[in-house]
């Protein structure tokens, strides 16, 4: 395959940045999207140019490091698929592919396609945890959890914190991420002691980080590589309402 790539190049956070066009030949349809970028970077390096910086780690779709808005869609055209698991066979020979970083004030660009996602860590630090004695492992089944709750909690816990929800949201909101954590912990008995303070603190941290507000457009859930449902946001809203009532 031969491709025309238009990639966002930005030297550092202070640089203005722009889309730069590259022609790439001999792309195998069996390459992953990131391997295609590796090929481009090899060529750029050999040519003495600065390779395109992009985030990646496990390349197995579970670490949440890869990002990239591909032709206007976070993680590209395949549903429930991370960029690293997206293969070039889903593109056509001669196609133009636009590659941009996540666009959000809370996720400033570090370089090229790499953004700083520490804003998510701040939300987690505000309440995305449980207080439990560490040390020896607790007995299995010491705390019974209904199967249905465990399944729903697990579904929410599959959130890898990649930030695609923010990238897709017309409001730049991180509500799906926050809601996934609220749902994950709120459904389990271990999450109950801090349930009320968690939702208030996490929402406050979310807003302080500069994310926008949720208007329920559902863009987030359609690009989520883990298919976190919009229902989690309703659950967050319900928890928030109950926490406000408990606080007053």
Partner 1 sequence: MAISGAALVLFLLLHMIGNLKIFFGAEAFDHYAHWLREIGAPLLPHSGFLWIQRVGLLVALAMHVWSAAVLTIRARKARPVKYAHRKPVQGSYAARTMRWGGVIVFLFVVYHILDLTTRTFNPVADTSQANAAVVQGFAPDRWYVTAFYVLAVLTLGFHLNHGIWSGLQTLGVSNARRERVLKGTAFAVAFVTCAGFLVVPFAVLTGLVK
14-53 footprint of partner 1 as x/- string (CB under 8 A): -----x----------------------------------
Using CB under 8 A as the binding rule, whether residue 158 contacts partner 1 is answered as no
Q: Which residues, numbered 62-101, are part of the site for partner 1 (CB under 8 A)?
A: 69, 71-73, 98, 100
Minimum separation from the CB atom of position 167 to partner 1 (A): 9
Query: What are all long-range contacts of 73-77, with beta carbons under 8 Å and residues at least 24 apart?
Result: 73/168, 73/223, 74/102, 74/164, 74/167, 74/168, 74/223, 75/162, 75/164, 75/223, 75/225, 76/33
Minimum separation from the CB atom of position 215 to partner 1 (A): 6
Helix (H) or strand (E) holding 149: helix 147-157
Identify the residue among 1, 6, 51, 81 touching partner 1 (CB under 8 A).
6
**Helix%, strand%, coil% for the chain, nearest 5:** 40, 15, 50
Which is closer to partner 1, CB of 168 or CB of 202? Answer: 168
Distance of alpha carbon 142 from alpha carbon 131, whole angstroms: 16
Which is closer to partner 1, CB of 2 or CB of 18? Answer: 18
Using CB under 8 A as the binding rule, whether residue 221 contacts partner 1 is answered as yes
Using CB under 8 A as the binding rule, whether residue 237 contacts partner 1 is answered as yes
Which is closer to partner 1, CB of 141 or CB of 245? Answer: 245
Minimum separation from the CB atom of position 176 to partner 1 (A): 12
Pick the closest to residue 43 from 7, 72, 80 (CA basis): 7
Q: Which residues, numbered 102-121, are part of the site for partner 1 (CB under 8 A)?
A: 103-106
Provide the 10 A C-beta neighbour count for residue 113. 24
Using CB under 8 A as the binding rule, whether residue 235 contacts partner 1 is answered as yes
Using CB under 8 A as the binding rule, whether residue 189 contacts partner 1 is answered as no
Identify the residue among 93, 215, 227, 246 touching partner 1 (CB under 8 A).
215
User: Are residues 112 and 54 in contact, defined by beta-carbon separation less than 8 angstroms?
Assistant: yes
Stretch that binds partner 1, among 32-40, 55-63, 124-132, 236-244 (CB under 8 A): 236-244
Which is closer to partner 1, CB of 79 or CB of 138? Answer: 79
Measure the CA dihedral 150/154/155/157, to 10°. 140
Question: What would you report as the CA-atom Rg of the chain, rounded to the nearest whole angstrom?
Answer: 20
Q: Which residues, numbered 160-179, are part of the site for partner 1 (CB under 8 A)?
A: 168, 170-173
For residue 164, how far is the Cα from the chain centroid?
Answer: 4
Pick the closest to residue 159 from 133, 142, 138, 179 (CA basis): 179
Applying CB under 8 A, the residues found at the interface with partner 1 are 6, 8, 19, 69, 71-73, 98, 100, 103-106, 168, 170-173, 210-219, 221-223, 229-231, 233-241
């Amino acid at each position: 395959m031969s491709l025309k790539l238009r990639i966002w190049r930005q030297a550092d956070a202070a640089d203005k940045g722009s889309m730069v066009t590259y022609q790439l030949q001999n792309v195998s349809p069996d390459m992953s999207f990131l391997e295609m970028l590796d090929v481009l970077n090899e060529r750029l390096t050999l040519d003495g140019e600065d390779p395109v910086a992009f985030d990646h780690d496990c390349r197995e779709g579970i670490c949440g490091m890869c990002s990239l808005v591909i032709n206007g869609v976070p993680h590209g055209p395949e549903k429930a698929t991370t960029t690293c698991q997206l293969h070039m066979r889903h593109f056509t020979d001669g196609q133009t592919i636009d590659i941009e970083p996540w666009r959000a004030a809370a996720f400033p660009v570090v370089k090229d396609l790499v953004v700083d996602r520490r804003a998510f860590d701040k939300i987690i630090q505000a309440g995305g945890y449980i207080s439990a004695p560490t040390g020896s492992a607790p007995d299995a089944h010491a705390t019974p959890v209904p199967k249905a709750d465990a399944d729903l909690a697990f579904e929410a816990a599959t959130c890898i914190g990649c930030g695609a929800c923010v990238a897709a949201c017309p409001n730049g909101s991180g509500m799906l991420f926050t809601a996934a954590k609220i749902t994950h912990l709120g459904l389990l008995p271990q999450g109950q002691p801090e349930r009320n303070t968690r939702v208030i603190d996490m929402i406050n941290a979310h807003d302080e980080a500069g994310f926008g507000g949720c208007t329920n457009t559902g863009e987030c859930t359609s690009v989520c590589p883990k298919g976190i449902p919009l229902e989690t946001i309703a659950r967050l809203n319900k928890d928030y309402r109950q926490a406000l009532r408990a606080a007053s």
